[in-house]
Structure 1
Amino acid sequence: MQKLLDHINTPKELRLLDQKDLPQLAKELREFIINIVATKEGHLGASLGVVELTIALHYIFNTPEDQLIWDVGHQAYGHKILTGRKDSFHTNRQVGGLSGFPKRAESNYDAFGVGHSSTSISAALGMAIASRLKGDTKKQHIAIIGDASIASGMAFEGLNHAGVTNANLLVILNDNAIGIDPSVGALKQYLTNVKKETQKQDNIFEALNFDYSGPIDGHDINAIISELERLKTISGPKFLHVITTKGKGLKQAEEDQVKYHAPGKFNAQTGDLIARTETNQPPKYQDVFGHTIVELAKQNENIVGITPAMPTGSSLKYMMDEIPERAFDVGIAEQHAVTLAAGMTTQGLIPFCNIYSTFLQRAYDQVIHDVALQKLPVIFCLDRAGLVGQDGATHHGVYDLSYLRCIPNLIIFAPRNEIELRNIMYTVQLGLKHPIAIRYPRGRGVTIDWKQPFSKIEMGTGIQLKKGNRLAVLSIGAIAKNVAKAIKNCQTPQSIAHYDMRFVKPLDESLLHAIFKPHETIITVEDNAVKGGFGSAILEFASENNYKNTIHVLGVPDHFLEHGSVNTLHQSIGLDADSLTLYFNKTLL
């Protein structure tokens, strides 16, 4: 039996359907998403939750002339399938395939590229103001934002501005009480009260001059269509509150919304996860952080943990379970997280502020002005540093060494393995006069027996991992694994020395002098942008000390890398072990 979805390649075909057939289309669209994501992996729960809303938006609005902006974009799979990408959806997040997020270069239905949260209202408002300036008062601009994202500061900035404009803007709040982890904060409680009809205060969105409607059932497609039809006739800023269930239509995804946000492979018929063989494997770096901070916090009552909305992803959840009064999920609020940590240090606390590398970019001003300028010893733990894989360009943590290295008073450390991560965490809580950024990668490390007794690390020191008489390779962080394997496979491994510099700032200048004098050629290797990163620091050292050695800088090239497995991406830029072996051999010729 042929399905309705088989005939729909763009919203034009969707709009030819009778409204009574849309619930059947919603069922088929859910099945399509489940069947693909079950084998190809990706973000599942968010897209399942907005199937009816997605269909209704494209049914009522004249997309792409009317513009949809999906906040973050985790929930945009249904949108992609309905807008000409159904036949290629199986390539989602695969090398050379569709992006996991809306992307302007991919489709004219993707009005704005996203990947980080809370940008949709500002972008949609900018488009709406532009339309009005051009004399187009009919074009619709719709921002679809979740209850976790709307609590972020930037979303409020957009709402605050929009409320004093006459822009043709519709903000749709997709309220499912969860982001990746459950939503937190006073706004979440306010929205809960609204849903329970116990909210006695004035409506916060009406107070910001929005025409508010809702809350309505986000899975009642007829109710959504009716309300969207009405809102099309109203001018100025409008706000529609829609209640949805994340993971709707897959029992397990509804019951375990955190795990099924991005569940990996699962059985499409039963919904059960496909178990991965993880016996006797090294731990994930995030779990080393999570278990170690609990261990240290039990010994030091001044230690606190902070994460902006990523307790599961950062593994701060372990501390939240065991010492909840000293572990804080502040929601999607990186700027607040940094300055909160700064305030805590002034009162003698020792905050471990765990933020993904790519998300710390959102709090750059706070790192400089609120932390480094005041020499406040905040401990930044930057998870997901380096290339992160299928999430692609918006999530690669390949700029932190560059954007942090120029900041005075800031120490930068990159552990090459789990034991080094434990030891630096132990060291910094003993007493620190400056802030420090500790950056480590996504995924598993290299050490099975990682719970070793703590050992203090001397600040600003590197170490020699291997002796060699001709070529010196300097690495920083976990990329040392690829370097060590590459050297082992070289034609003359005895010719190559390997150093783990550990600190990008301050550099171990004593060690560098000892390296530069006997080695004519130096190669630096980092999983960070080559512009302004670790290699640049070594070049600066050589220039300042008038060294004439030949220096090769290897790292992430000066363009945005798209999605693909970490191994594939390393191969594409020559940072995998095999590519490094060839490079080292060639350099020795």
Structure 2
Amino acid sequence: MLDQINGPQDLKGLSTKELEQLSDEIRQFLIEKLSVTGGHLSSNLGVVELTLVLHYLFDSPNDKFIFDVGHQSYVHKIVTGRMDRFDTLKKHKGLSGFVKRNESEHDVWEAGHSSTSLSAAMGMAMARDMKGEKNRVVAIIGDGALTGGMALEALNHIGDEKRNLIVVLNDNEMSIAPNVGALHQYLSKIRTDRHYQKAKDELQHFLNKIPAIGGKLAKTAERFKDSLKYLLVSGILFEQFGLTYLGPVDGHDIEQMLDLMKQADSINGPVLVHVITKKGKGYLPAEEDSFKWHGASSYKIESGQMLKAVGPPMYTEVFGSTLIELAEQDERILAITPAMPGGSGLLKFADRFPDRMIDVGIAEQHAATLSAALAMEGMKPVFAVYSTFLQRAYDQVVHDICRHNANVVFAIDRAGFVGSDGETHHGVYDIAFLRHIPNLVLLMPKDENELRRMMKTAIEYNDGPIAIRYPRINGLGVEMDKELKPLPIGKWETVREGEAAVVLAIGPMVQTALEAAEILKREGISVRVVNARSIKPLDEEMLIQIAHEGKPILVLEESSELGGFGGSVLEFYSLHDIYGMTIRIVGIPDLFVEHASIKEQQIEVGLTAERAASEIKSILPGRQMKATSRSWS
């Protein structure tokens, strides 16, 4: 049947049995395709029936489907005519792993960060009403994303406005990691409370048996059912928010969902439909470990064995093991994560120190302010967060951490390009939004051993917040120091001597700079390569020495050129009235870089050894003049 589905209209005439058969075929299709391409398997296997029901009942793109994050949008892509492109999933110029507006008219909202769907749905519902249109707006949000503060802010507004809007709560007890918190416990209570469901069903059965007057009692019965809710299920949080609550319903029972969605569509005002699904449904390895299969690499279908390249450990793994080592020596150390214990390399830490592992759920703002307060009370919180998700806590970093000069350690993972997750997940802006904040120290290692030393530095640092950013790649396989020693803050490292020019590089770009130096060596050009590991503070002594020598500078960084590390070098020379310098910055230009491999993304923006060598040669001729200054210091 799957070959016959070219758009949502092809679902309209199918029977329930045919929709069930189609669900099985879609699951098999996803299991086979993702075994080659990798991708978000478990979340999509869990929403097959739900997605089919939505497209069966409603009329996309006139009716708006807003998927929170988009991890669960693969079935939507299949139904809306993109099945033939799944071989290109998450590849360069291929199908995005998320909802993508320029891919299809059916993709009306795109997001790589959670908890945005309800605000977007409210905006679309308001615009619809202001324009006098009649289309439906349906937001599909997970129980994990519902813990985000932004989602709760939107619920508050939705309940107050009373506009027609359907919220589908896809409740699978997971986001990426198992969900935590009071809201999760509340949903668990609803999920397992059979008394309410049984009483509601018995009441409906009783009414249906009353001839003639059964329908007339419907409104009274609804009030009675409301009373049953308050009697039998404590809280009824969503109804207090002003939404009509329907469910819970089995998200894999198409007939039940069709009935409930039709009921939701008939109600005036906002409705929340509570759908219980199972992540990974239909593929046993994913059912048994939905975290592992959230973002799967390619795998063997029969065994479920992931096909990963063998090599040095990833920076994330080195961070996790080093934090355990440090925590064994310092009982003040706590790990804070916003729902990413696995992705941030903290699962082993959680096993070793369960009482010192704090998962706050999808709540980056809360995590940041919590860290500030813990630090001010003498603890040593390590806030482990992806660079892209730290963007969500910017105000708290400024207002609660840096303004208080709190001794918080930021472990900023996924700094730089992240590959196939694309532009919503790249960690390329944190230098620009962090380096100008007073009191904050910002570091980046050139290899995994230097990461370990920076972590030792950060734990021993007691003069305010300190951040270490590191990439989503494997380390270089360098030898690890047996005894951890701190590094001097504000001091750079010359890793290769040279006379013609100086390359200031950070993180993985140090290796790129060394490769460029080798290319130039073959042409008789000698280049100095500096590991500028302290992004803030700068090594001012070295910068002044370079100016005295009159050497041209190439800054190489896998981060935004606007506001990045190179900008801080330019600012330094300007503030010190040092002129006559030749400085070229090679970083990520003013554009969003789409999904591809990290290597392809680097090539796309010119972060290569060949480009670096070419740029160095372009700043050499006639530029070897000494800089002058009115105020050397």
Q: 1:71-470, aligned counterparts within 5 Å?
A: 71-136=68-133, 138-197=134-193, 200-268=233-301, 270-278=302-310, 281-470=311-500
SS across alignment from 1:312: coil
SS across alignment from 1:259: coil
**Higher mean Cα deviation, 15-24 or 246-255?**
15-24
Match of 1:539 in 2: 570
The amino acid across from 1:266 in the alignment is Y
Unaligned runs of at least 5 residues, structure 1: none
CA distance in 2, matches of 1:485, 1:182: 43
Deviations 1:390-430 (A, max 9, x none): 00000000001011112111111111111111111112212
Match of 1:527 in 2: 558
2:85 maps to 1:54: no
Q: CA offset at residue 448 of structure 1?
A: 4.2
CA contact (8 A) 1:351 1:378 kept: yes
**Higher mean Cα deviation, 571-580 or 357-366?**
571-580
CA distance in 1, matches of 2:236, 2:267: 19
Q: CA offset at residue 493 of structure 1?
A: 6.5
The amino acid across from 2:138 in the alignment is I
CA distance in 1, matches of 2:179, 2:306: 27
Match of 1:66 in 2: 63
Match of 2:591 in 1: 559
The amino acid across from 1:481 in the alignment is Q
Q: CA offset at residue 486 of structure 1?
A: 2.1
The amino acid across from 2:149 in the alignment is G
CA distance in 2, matches of 1:574, 1:133: 46
CA contact (8 A) 2:387 2:413 kept: yes
Q: CA offset at residue 582 of structure 1?
A: 3.8
The amino acid across from 2:509 in the alignment is I
**Higher mean Cα deviation, 550-559 or 281-290?**
281-290
The change in CA–CA distance for 1:271 and 1:47 in structure 2 (over 3 A counts) is farther
Q: CA offset at residue 18 of structure 1?
A: 2.9
CA contact (8 A) 1:115 1:395 kept: yes
- The structure 1 residue matched to 2:519, chosen from 471, 482, 489, is 489
CA distance in 2, matches of 1:575, 1:581: 11
CA contact (8 A) 1:283 1:448 kept: no
Match of 2:627 in 1: none
- The structure 1 residue matched to 2:505, chosen from 475, 488, 495, is 475
Deviations 1:457-507 (A, max 9, x none): 111111111111111000112221211122123234761001111111111
The amino acid across from 1:538 in the alignment is V
CA contact (8 A) 1:542 1:548 kept: no
- The structure 1 residue matched to 2:548, chosen from 517, 520, 524, is 517
SS across alignment from 2:174: coil
Q: CA offset at residue 202 of structure 1?
A: 2.2
CA distance in 1, matches of 2:95, 2:497: 45
Match of 2:628 in 1: none
Deviations 1:13-58 (A, max 9, x none): 1213233310011111111111111101111110110000000000
The amino acid across from 1:525 in the alignment is L
Q: CA offset at residue 584 of structure 1?
A: 3.4
CA distance in 2, matches of 1:166, 1:543: 56
CA distance in 2, matches of 1:208, 1:78: 31
CA distance in 2, matches of 1:274, 1:338: 34
**Higher mean Cα deviation, 166-175 or 575-584?**
575-584
CA distance in 1, matches of 2:307, 2:459: 37
Deviations 1:44-100 (A, max 9, x none): 110110000000000001111000000011000000111121111221111001111
CA distance in 2, matches of 1:274, 1:187: 33
Deviations 1:218-267 (A, max 9, x none): 00011111111111111111001000000011011101111111221112
- The structure 2 residue matched to 1:569, chosen from 601, 610, 613, is 601
CA contact (8 A) 1:339 1:366 kept: yes
Unaligned runs of at least 5 residues, structure 2: 195-231, 622-633
The amino acid across from 1:236 in the alignment is G
The change in CA–CA distance for 1:391 and 1:329 in structure 2 (over 3 A counts) is same
CA distance in 2, matches of 1:237, 1:195: 21
CA distance in 2, matches of 1:72, 1:277: 28
The amino acid across from 1:393 in the alignment is E
CA distance in 1, matches of 2:365, 2:32: 38
CA distance in 1, matches of 2:22, 2:516: 52
CA contact (8 A) 1:218 1:243 kept: yes
CA distance in 2, matches of 1:531, 1:67: 36
Match of 1:40 in 2: 37
The change in CA–CA distance for 1:474 and 1:159 in structure 2 (over 3 A counts) is same
CA contact (8 A) 2:554 2:615 kept: no
Between structure 1 and structure 2, the one with the greater Rg is 2
CA contact (8 A) 1:387 1:397 kept: yes
Q: CA offset at residue 446 of structure 1?
A: 0.8
The change in CA–CA distance for 1:451 and 1:109 in structure 2 (over 3 A counts) is farther
Q: CA offset at residue 581 of structure 1?
A: 3.4
**Higher mean Cα deviation, 573-582 or 282-291?**
573-582
Q: How many residue pairs align between the two structures? A: 582
CA contact (8 A) 2:297 2:307 kept: no
CA contact (8 A) 1:487 1:581 kept: yes
Q: CA offset at residue 129 of structure 1?
A: 1.1
Q: CA offset at residue 119 of structure 1?
A: 0.3
CA distance in 1, matches of 2:461, 2:555: 31
CA distance in 1, matches of 2:383, 2:321: 15
